[in-house]
Structure 1
């Protein structure tokens, strides 16, 4: 299909901003949904071809007129980070991730859009520790935490719309733990990078992760819009890694020492509880919460994913994690988040 104009939700986020840039690089005009015009202008300063649309996924009808004239909607927006600061966030997760997604695809269709790319997650999949997981390995809704449950239900809302609307085309892209430049949130990945370089990590945490470059996920999204089969899911999860592998890698690239000892679980839970209290009082992002620790423990070694389908049908590939980390550190240094003189980037 020809892409002339795309609508991107969550446009200032890590995935969203890299997707916007990838689309612009292909000559596609972008309508970028942003909650804050100021943040949108900060993220896309100097970029031609971006129209900022101020709106919120809790009120889709308010920005729905901007969907007219678009060839495709890329839905990358989601409520996520605050869910891991402690407390119950299910109602907000449901309103934004589930109800908002259902409203968005409905309003897109009403506006004449016939192609939709849903940013799903590896959270909707599950498997035994050590097993290779593919798109067929569904997670049991009863075993999901609140965020994972919201992503499963959001995907089901899109599938239900497809079943009821034969002329609508939608595909699903399932990213892993995304890293990349332009992470102004910062996301948990950006926070790990910053805390590692600034020597704020007290030790290594357990668990494993599937690390992927947000720029590669953006390319997967575009390929899914153009070549993906209707109703199909495509993994873009990246590389299986443990924190014991990732943190020293960040240190080598940034030229800083990193902790070598693993934090025992009781201490980890205690630190998470303290950080939760700090997050609630300060409103600032933290690296650990009780929910995060529980998730790391339960998901340990369940992050080995097969990309055979995505490689075969979308031509998906992944750049080396070393390149991704190097670009993340360089971006934070170049934008004043990290001291330029601390360590040296290795080549």
Structure 2
């Protein structure tokens, strides 16, 4: 175990999520006591079974004031919780996105400050950035609100809430970490990546969808968060987006690691739009989540080729490095198999 004398107690929101739980584990391994915000105490107990040094705090980002007293005594707050696209059931969810991602973030940093916390690390998204297809994108390539879907818009506004707070509180320190599409073990949700792994291994993927992604190990993103708290510059963004891959590269890689056959036919965009429309109609009738929403298809079409990211700043200022993505896929598949998911 490593000793980290500059970080003794940390508060982590979204602690049972893919990023949050890996961040909690890394902090505990470093000897940091963690207050872990969970929406469900039983789920938190399952997630962290066998680990010590974790104090579960049951609460919700929709009501930060209800758990704000737990922020006292913490050296840093790591804010990984968010309302994600994965929660979509088709249609618009702006009210929830704004309430959780924007207002919740603004409340959290304010109440953390009132509780005496002076270090804050905010989980942003590569969605707040935009560049031309095939061009390397860095932290300066900010996306216009007018060119953002609802989720990306909520993340842009959440970033602005953090930066606005810094502008009026010069003794507060905050940095922003921008992850790509996160993969990794212990994804009990599962997130979209975990669901994708299960669908591919179980032969449920009807074809290869178009588009490209920036894929990254959640454990590497967790490392980036800790480095941002310890060495990050005030008010700065740090990319932790990982590796550019197309679905034509990703699907066969997953098949080789899991030793399963994978589809080779690429599904054309018109077919994806049709499938998404049918699924959204099904969702409205049954109330069940969709696997593919119209918003997701539009995002894939619009962002194709725009997932080349330049990590020079994070490497220079945070010492960030990424493990081979093949290792990430192998660890993810092994974890799901070990849990009996397939």
The structural deviation recorded for 1:274 is 2.5
> CA 1:90/1:241 → structure 2, altered by over 3 Å: closer, same or farther?
same
1:33 equivalent in alignment to 2:46:
no
Q: Which residue of 1 aligns with 2:28?
A: 24
Q: Which residue of 2 aligns with 1:227?
A: 231
Is the Cα–Cα contact under 8 Å of residues 64 and 107 in structure 1 kept in the other structure? Answer: yes
State which of 168, 172, 175 in structure 1 corresponds to 2:179: 175
Q: What is the aligned length?
A: 338
- Aligned residue for 1:173, secondary structure, equals strand
TM-score, structure 1 length as denominator? 0.95
Q: Whole-Å Cα distance in 2 between the matches of residues 260 and 38 of structure 1?
A: 41
1:268 equivalent in alignment to 2:255:
no
The structural deviation recorded for 1:184 is 1.0
> CA 1:76/1:281 → structure 2, altered by over 3 Å: closer, same or farther?
farther
Is the Cα–Cα contact under 8 Å of residues 235 and 307 in structure 1 kept in the other structure? Answer: yes
Q: Which residue of 2 aligns with 1:216?
A: 220
**1:1-150 to 2 correspondence within 5 Å?**
2-82=6-86, 84-150=88-154
Q: Whole-Å Cα distance in 2 between the matches of residues 331 and 276 of structure 1?
A: 31
Is the Cα–Cα contact under 8 Å of residues 191 and 287 in structure 1 kept in the other structure? Answer: no
TM-score, structure 2 length as denominator? 0.97
Is the Cα–Cα contact under 8 Å of residues 192 and 287 in structure 1 kept in the other structure? Answer: no
Q: Is 75-84 or 307-316 further displaced after alignment? A: 75-84
The structural deviation recorded for 1:277 is 3.5
Q: Which residue of 1 aligns with 2:320?
A: 316
Q: Which residue of 2 aligns with 1:154?
A: 158
Deviating above 6 A after TM superposition, structure 1's stretches of 4 or more consecutive aligned residues are: none
Is the Cα–Cα contact under 8 Å of residues 214 and 242 in structure 2 kept in the other structure? Answer: yes
Q: Compute the RMSD of aligned alpha carbons.
A: 1.1
Gaps of 5+ in 2: none
- Aligned residue for 1:58, secondary structure, equals helix
Q: Whole-Å Cα distance in 1 between the matches of residues 331 and 214 of structure 2?
A: 18
Q: Whole-Å Cα distance in 2 between the matches of residues 334 and 181 of structure 1?
A: 10
Q: Whole-Å Cα distance in 2 between the matches of residues 234 and 81 of structure 1?
A: 22
Q: Which residue of 1 aligns with 2:242?
A: 238
Is the Cα–Cα contact under 8 Å of residues 89 and 287 in structure 2 kept in the other structure? Answer: no
Q: Whole-Å Cα distance in 2 between the matches of residues 297 and 164 of structure 1?
A: 39
Q: Whole-Å Cα distance in 2 between the matches of residues 280 and 238 of structure 1?
A: 36
